[in-house]
Structure 1
């Protein structure tokens, strides 16, 4: 809900997040009195025009008699189209009596299944392939058993998008991690080495990471999503669970599991290398000392150490939120979404500073459930006023800050293009001190050896807490399939940064 004018406009970014995430949301906005509409009154905004792009349904109530049917239309449209509905209510209308009966809302959309001939055609394509790889996304979160059964029948490695981790990642002998900017080489190899790609409930947006020249079968509840990222040979419009359940009896089990075994070996090898970075004592060894000269001369805490500690100590039903940026990279690589863990983020819109507000919303919804906001220092400082909201409402949220004194994702994007970082530096603020000044329990961590106990204590603290961890600003997280240009770009950027740093040092002397 938002008040008149600016109060309504403040909802806009969040509503775009809802639109991009296909979340049914009703926004009720205030408006100037009816008699003042169109007069450029104080705080007057044309809500119907402002929200027209973001909303599936957008109307202004001009008479109480329009309710409840306008409210029914708004909510039913939001459910039917998995999107946003906006109702605007002028102040004088809101003050008038309402005599109509209460609204009645439809159930959410029923399950849909493709026709039998299409399922037969899909089975024919999948059975005729020597090597099948599955790309599984958020639309399959309610289809865990069906996804695993189909992967077993097809002997298929399973690449999971970030939002596909939820419900599907844990105890999954087929998964090989994420693709794309957050991903790993094993996932990319599984995609590139297949004959048929089976996409289930995913609208993964990065075209460059899709394999070329493959037969593609796509299952999605939204027909408009079929083929919009990669050319599709067969599109199946239907719910993931119901469609896979209908498809499974038609498949012939593949006894050859070499493609799956090779993909899993590559994934486990990559994970083993990554786990070294999560060891607080990594830099005490020879490899760590050598690497430190390249990417951690300040000897700051590697972000993998923090992410791995969060994974160890977070509860099995924790709700995570993560900022758009490097905190999401470390979450994707080191935190497992097993049990009943949930994940929220701005993963389709890419909003700045989303993790803290989303964590507050989740904590308000269920104060008994552990809620952990994984924030960047850029994100927290953008919405620092929300620290006061935490205190005012005593929300038991755990705020973990990857404090690298950078806009880290922007820095990495600059460097992979061969540019030295510019405009990304933030002065190293003691965010724990600021949080304490706001009335929060807060702890600052500057040594890798202290991370595990600090995370354990913070997550076990009764009530809200902010954990400010000073992490390495120069940590490089390569995408799943870095190009030669990107590798060369990093090398050139690092060389330029080293020269500039030396020049600054000479100037200071």
Structure 2
């Protein structure tokens, strides 16, 4: 006979999931015991359930299969929430298996009891509590299919007296449907959009993650239109390499070229992007938006022509209606601005930058302690990382440096909490990615605030021998918050982090630690870290006052920084 717990685990293994992440405990003990006896699955015990959810979400994004995590009764399930919200906003199919108090105690305010169906109602596309073994096959199949088809989170709750119950003899393990057929756009919508594109003089593309499967078609469209291509952060994976139309990111991660391309176009063509920052969109232009989800149309900026459908099919349908243009002026101006900006940025990827005239002057202003510039660290990691490395990035300044200095080439992958914007995601996502393939290089760009928030799970890397490379931008600050305060004229307050020697902490838990304080030691340290066969924490003491100028700086921001610096000189930050 087969138990409820065994049937769940058999279905997950049959689907192709290879790891289950979580913390063991009471109501889910039958489930972890079933995992112990299933050769196709590995139990990945973590120190905090939030790490489990982030790791499962990372695996789901990389494979398209269900990521699976577990949290037991009450607090264990609650700890999953932040990572599950990241999965929701990243459209990652994740199955969360949660514990519950025994059935007779449900509703009695029993020890640790929470109502999981209510708790997870906002984050999940499907929630259900199994109270009878006869329910399991249907509920499990619904949960898996909902997560896969709606690209979201499904939560299945197992009371403490249910996991060991037997299902009816002959019950087959449910099978999940992973196929997502591409939807073709309506021809009339394509023709209307093509007409608007043909009537425009200067077209700028804004391309995101949803266009990754349409790379060839999008590049051909950019070539015909002579259109510069602003690439959203999540679009770097797909459009960051071998792309003569690409001009980087917009928004706080951006550069002057993207501002130029957006402000001088008369038609903006959005393809597979939900770029959220409304203040960076151009005004007074025609907007065409291509998206597979019609609910995304127009929610960031008014849209004149909507094309709902798969990006590859939609752009492929547009191409026959678009003639090649001989005028390349719009593209050439944007590309020239981009290449000039890139050249200026490369000055920072030089350990001797501050000995040269421009660098010497700047050091006096923003780096009097001669700490390592984060741009140098990011550039060296890009230079030495494997061509098929998986990168993860913490929200904040770590993402800024990755965006500007790391190229996501053809075989590289990129993960981050780019929609939820959580702290502390880079290390957990790296653990999930590394578990999928121990031979593939996985590099996490960690902020010191993010890393220390879930510092206990350094032990997880050592325990499971996951050879992640954790690169820590150790500036002793919550850097993005500091930037946010200063640009509106506030003195930084509450942002200072009193960090230990993080390399020494790593060594204490079984992770190889390397600490760097001199820029001339950094190149060798990066090489050694990336070449080490096991998990590594590269602790790099970086400049806390480094400023990443946004693509469209304002006079108000400039005054804000000046006022903030005066206040900071008057009162030291705490």
TM-score interval (norm. to shorter): over 0.9
Q: Which residue is equivalent to 1:34?
A: 103
Deviations 1:415-465 (A, max 9, x none): 001111111111242111111111221110001111111101100111111
Q: Which residue is equivalent to 2:193?
A: 122
SS in 1 for 2:213: coil
Counterpart-to-counterpart distance in 2, 1:142 and 1:220: 12
Q: Which residue is equivalent to 1:276?
A: 347
1:388 maps to 2:459: yes
1:93 maps to 2:162: yes
SS in 1 for 2:154: strand
Q: 2:441 aligns with which of 340, 350, 370?
A: 370
The answer to which of 428-437 and 455-464 deviates more is 428-437
Q: Which residue is equivalent to 2:72?
A: 3
Q: Which residue is equivalent to 1:451?
A: 522
Contact 1:167/1:340 (CA < 8 Å) preserved in 2?
A: no
SS in 2 for 1:443: strand
1:427 maps to 2:494: no
Q: Which residue is equivalent to 1:224?
A: 295
Counterpart-to-counterpart distance in 1, 2:94 and 2:320: 37
Q: 1:199 aligns with which of 267, 270, 275?
A: 270
Q: 1:287 aligns with which of 349, 352, 358?
A: 358
SS in 2 for 1:29: strand
Deviations 1:52-90 (A, max 9, x none): 011111111111111211111112222222211111111
Q: Which residues of 2 match residues 171-250 of structure 1 at below 5 A?
A: 171-250=242-321
Q: 1:407 aligns with which of 457, 478, 486?
A: 478
Q: Which residues of 2 match residues 295-306 of structure 1 at below 5 A?
A: 295-306=366-377
TM superposition shift of 1:355: 0.6
1:22 maps to 2:103: no
TM superposition shift of 1:219: 0.6
SS in 2 for 1:385: helix
Compute the RMSD of aligned alpha carbons.
1.3
The answer to which of 47-56 and 94-103 deviates more is 94-103
Contact 2:252/2:551 (CA < 8 Å) preserved in 1?
A: yes
1:344 maps to 2:415: yes
SS in 2 for 1:65: helix
Counterpart-to-counterpart distance in 2, 1:428 and 1:279: 26
Deviations 1:236-278 (A, max 9, x none): 1111111111211111111111000000000001111111011
The answer to which of 123-132 and 433-442 deviates more is 433-442
1:156 maps to 2:248: no
Counterpart-to-counterpart distance in 2, 1:389 and 1:5: 23
Counterpart-to-counterpart distance in 1, 2:192 and 2:372: 53
Counterpart-to-counterpart distance in 1, 2:455 and 2:176: 38
1:495 maps to 2:572: no
Contact 2:185/2:313 (CA < 8 Å) preserved in 1?
A: no
SS in 2 for 1:68: helix
SS in 1 for 2:162: helix
Counterpart-to-counterpart distance in 1, 2:144 and 2:318: 33
Name structure 2 gaps, 5 residues minimum: 1-69
SS in 2 for 1:67: helix
Counterpart-to-counterpart distance in 1, 2:448 and 2:154: 33
Counterpart-to-counterpart distance in 1, 2:165 and 2:387: 48
Counterpart-to-counterpart distance in 1, 2:274 and 2:534: 37
Counterpart-to-counterpart distance in 2, 1:276 and 1:104: 55
Counterpart-to-counterpart distance in 2, 1:79 and 1:386: 28
The answer to which of 486-495 and 10-19 deviates more is 486-495
Contact 1:321/1:343 (CA < 8 Å) preserved in 2?
A: yes
TM superposition shift of 1:105: 2.4
Deviations 1:108-163 (A, max 9, x none): 32101111111111110111111000000111122211111111111100000111
Q: 1:145 aligns with which of 198, 206, 216?
A: 216
Contact 1:131/1:196 (CA < 8 Å) preserved in 2?
A: yes
SS in 2 for 1:35: helix
Q: TM-score, normalised by structure 1?
A: 0.97
TM superposition shift of 1:39: 1.0
SS in 2 for 1:402: strand
TM superposition shift of 1:351: 0.8
Contact 2:186/2:308 (CA < 8 Å) preserved in 1?
A: no
Counterpart-to-counterpart distance in 2, 1:68 and 1:188: 53
Counterpart-to-counterpart distance in 2, 1:500 and 1:290: 25
The answer to which of 14-23 and 421-430 deviates more is 421-430
Counterpart-to-counterpart distance in 1, 2:140 and 2:381: 42
Q: Which residue is equivalent to 1:47?
A: 116
Counterpart-to-counterpart distance in 2, 1:131 and 1:218: 16
1:478 maps to 2:549: yes
Q: Which residue is equivalent to 2:386?
A: 315
Counterpart-to-counterpart distance in 2, 1:301 and 1:281: 11
Q: Which residue is equivalent to 1:507?
A: none
Counterpart-to-counterpart distance in 2, 1:381 and 1:91: 34
Q: TM-score, normalised by structure 2?
A: 0.86
Provide the aligned length of Structure 1 versus Structure 2: 503
Name structure 1 gaps, 5 residues minimum: 505-509
